[in-house]
Structure formats: structure tokens, C-alpha cells
Amino acid sequence: MKLGIPSKGRLKKEVLNWFNNKGIKILTSDDDRSYAAKVADFPNIQLVLVPPIEIPSLLLKGDLDLGVTGQDLIEEKIPEWKKYVKELIKFGIGRADLVIAVPEFWIDVNNLEDLDDVANIFRRKMGFRLRIATKYHNLARMYLREFGMTDFKLIDSQGATEGLIKNEAAEVVIDISSTGQTFKSNKLKVLPIKPIKKSEVALFSSLKIEKKINFSDRAFFEKLSINL
């Protein structure tokens, strides 16, 4: 079986600590640039270190059997994800919310009804649709259209999403946030409504995995208290 985990940074360390606390030792290089790693005592499990954003597509294609990534990324990258992958266990780390943020000076905008009004004004008076910067096109579009909002344009952002407002390339941001501090630093406010998505890191499996599990692999799942 192939198991994908985050390849670097704080999230990689938190994931390694989580497995270690479950009695599963993952051996890696101290150098984030090295991709050499293995799962101690489980030679049949091939460990792959990859960016979390790539793990959903690798699970979908069958290049990974198991993958550790955010719930938000699974839902964003795999439409109708429950048809293809299964969430096995939550890690209790990497908790964050997918939220909508607008400029602080939009004092009258505090919910989706207000945002929809602003979008209509932009279309009517400015001659173009309200621009929303986001990495989460599928989740954002689904959420806004379920509400009934249509006068908007999604602007792709794979970097510092908040900076697109400062550079006047967008008016609104939809992004993941754990504390909201980045938004505050960029003079943005999070709309005080239910998040589009509450997310945390979890272990996911391909629905095809059961065909590949042998007797020795089951001990791995038993240590994680996962019943397949």
C-alpha cells in the first residue's frame, strides 16, 4: 500500500507526532528537501512525501491508497468525493475554517444578503462583476450559488490571496483561516456567518483499498483503531 503524508513544514511534524503517539514510527530525514521515508515495522507500506494539495488527486487516480490531508482539500479537489474516497480518522490538527472576508470599511456588509446587494451594485454601477479571490473555486461556487448569488467572478489565487485586494485585483476573499489574524493585518474582516467549511487534517483512503490489504497491513489499522 502507498501512504501519502505532508512533505514539509509544521504540518509534516504534527502528522509524524500524531502517528508516533499511536505507536507508529515514521522514519524520515531531518532535511525537508529529502523525500526518503518509511514506516517502521510495516515494510509493506510505501511512504510518499507530497504536498497536501496534491494528495486528493493522487488518491482519486489510484496513485495513493492512503493519504493525510485537509478535509477542505478533499472536498475542493474531488467533486462528490464520497464516491471515491473514505475518511478513516480525524487527527485533531490543522483545524481551520473556510470563510468570506471583505474590506473593513464595508461596515454595512455583515452577511450573504449584504454581499449579494454589493454584488448587484457592482454589476449595475461599475459595469463588472464582484471579484472574489480564492483557491477554493468548487467550494466557493457551490456555496454562493446555493444561496442564490450569481453576480460574482472567481479570481484564481494560489499565493497570498489577501494581497489581491490590496492590489485592486479583487474585492472579496474566500480562504482558509485558523485565527483570522492575516485578514486583520490586511484590513479585512471575516463575515460573522457560519463558515463555508470547517476543516481539519484527516486520514483518507481510496475506496479500492480493501482489495490490497493483507494480514500484516491490518495491524497498522488496528494501531489507529480503524475498522475496515
Looking at the chain, the whole-number percentage of residues with pLDDT higher than 70 is 94
pLDDT tens column, 178-222: 988 889 988 999 999 999 999 999 999 998 876 677 766 788 899
The verdict on 116 and 176 lying in the same domain is yes
In this structure, the answer to whether residues 80 and 119 fall within a common structural domain is no
What pTM does this model have?
0.89
Instruction: Kindly state whether residues 159 and 206 are assigned to the same domain.
Output: no
Tell whether 228 is covered by a domain: no
Residues 87 and 14 in one domain: yes
- The CATH number of residue 89's host domain is 3.40.190.10
Domain that holds residue 28: 2-94+201-223
pLDDT in tens, 124-181: 988 889 999 999 999 999 999 999 999 999 999 876 777 777 778 899 999 999 988 8
Confidence band for 29, pLDDT divided at 50, 70 and 90: low
Q: Are residues 29 and 108 in the same domain?
A: no
Same domain, 85 and 139: no
Residue 172 lies in a domain: yes
- 194 shares a domain with 112: yes
User: Per the structure, how many domains does the chain have?
Assistant: 2
Do 190 and 135 belong to one domain?
yes
Residues 101 and 155 in one domain: yes
| Secondary structure of the chain as H, E, C letters | CEEEEECCHHHHHHHHHHHHHCCCCEEECCCCCCCCEEECCCCCCEEEEECHHHHHHHHHHCCCCEEEEEHHHHHHHCCCHHHCEEEEEECCCCCEEEEEEEECCCCCCCCHHHHHHHHHHHHHHHCCCEEEEECCHHHHHHHHHHHCCCCEEEEECCCCCCHHHHCCCCCEEEEEECCCHHHHHCCEEECCCCCCEEECEEEEEECCHHHCCCHHHHHHHHHCCCCC
Same domain assignment for residues 105 and 169: yes
